Amino acid sequence: MKRLVLACVALPFLASPALAAKPPWRLVVDGDGASLTNAIPDSDDAATMLQCQTTEGTVTVYLFLETRVADHLKGAEWVDKAGRTAPWSARLTVTSGGVTGAFPAKANPDEQSGGTEVEATIPASAPVMAAFARTGAIHFTAFGERVKEPPIPAAKAAGLMRVCRK
């Protein structure tokens, strides 16, 4: 019985290195703008990124989905099942706490993973971005797929949004 109790107590600690293996969110601020990404530095791995220029008042979101919109190559261009060439029109739903916003986006094939890359530009003044700046909580959904990301520290979210709102 003692071994079972010890195993149950130790299990979360044994699992924690695997949880910590997810890349941390990195905030980079320079004279031109800011970016918040969970990418591993100097890696080609796809990652979610929120980015802005100080003079634009917008946040551009780049994310990768497992959902594959591309159906086949037509010549040198990817097309969807309807025969439309990339980039495809998309809708990105952004949620932070109880606040949700839907924004136009564009989608392109992600040839590295076989999924889809989505890009959307969101006004920094959007209520969902204000909620994100306060809490760090943010979720993205496109093509019915919700992107699963590690939590963002609220201080990093606030730091990004301070630059993006200028």
Residue 152: Cβ-neighbour burial (10 angstroms; 0-12, 13-18, 19+): buried
What residue segments make up the domains of the chain, in order of their start?
23-164
In contact, 138 and 96? CB cutoff 8 Å: yes
What's phi and psi for 27, nearest 5 deg? Answer: -105, 125
Euclidean distance between CA atoms 163 and 30, whole angstroms:
9
Tens-level pLDDT at each residue, the chain (166 residues): 444 433 443 444 444 444 445 568 999 999 899 999 987 666 666 689 999 998 899 999 999 999 999 999 999 999 999 999 999 999 999 999 899 999 999 999 998 889 999 999 999 999 999 999 999 999 999 999 999 888 899 999 999 999 998 7
Query: Which pTM does this prediction carry?
Result: 0.81
What is the structure's pLDDT at 42?
A: 67
In contact, 27 and 159? CB cutoff 8 Å: yes
